[in-house]
Structure 1
Amino acid sequence: MMKTLMLRLLLLVDGKNLALVGVKCNVDAAFFVEAEVTTMGACFRDHVGNFVAGSTQRQQATMSTLEDEAWTLLHAMKETNHRGLNRVQFESDSHALTEAIRTRHSGI
């Protein structure tokens, strides 16, 4: 059984904590070293779990695991902006990414 560490980035709009309502976006990355291909996926669901939107992307590139996971989150954030979604909670199973963000955030 794999334990999942969740990354929760709550975007604030008009000073309100939007953890109670909005959209949840699950992100994940995959990489194929031999083919030098990086892929990502994002699944957007509303506050009751209904599918809202999805996004996938593939690029011919070799990245580290952390770079790939960060690229995935960045792409999902851009997709969120493109779709006009303004209350979004992002979740990732990448421990390295969550720790990198948490460490950076605690230094602010």
Structure 2
Amino acid sequence: MESPFRVWIDEDIADLIPGYMGRRREDLANLSALLELEEFEGIAFIGHSMKGSGGGYGLFAISEMGRDLERDGGLRNGVLVKNSLDRLEHYLNHVEILIKPCER
């Protein structure tokens, strides 16, 4: 079955992707813990970081989810944060990363 999230990554950065994705999984765990504690400032901070980093790896959906988490944390809205975390978890569990040769 084909993944609903297919992302093509330049081969020049392919070796960086496993570490980047691992850090996003760590973010997911940290965000869930922050939500339990209602630490919305921390959620907004991590969301801001994700917003700034995803596009550099060609993972624009992570940037979009980071933007949402930054907004939701700023609104101090636990329901919205939980929805964003569910979307992030689903994405991380289903994204298919494909490598494309660099154009030279």
Q: When the two structures are superposed, what TM-score results if normalisation uses the length of structure 1?
A: 0.28
Give the number of the structure with larger relative contact order, counting CA–CA contacts within 8 Å between residues 6 or more apart: 2
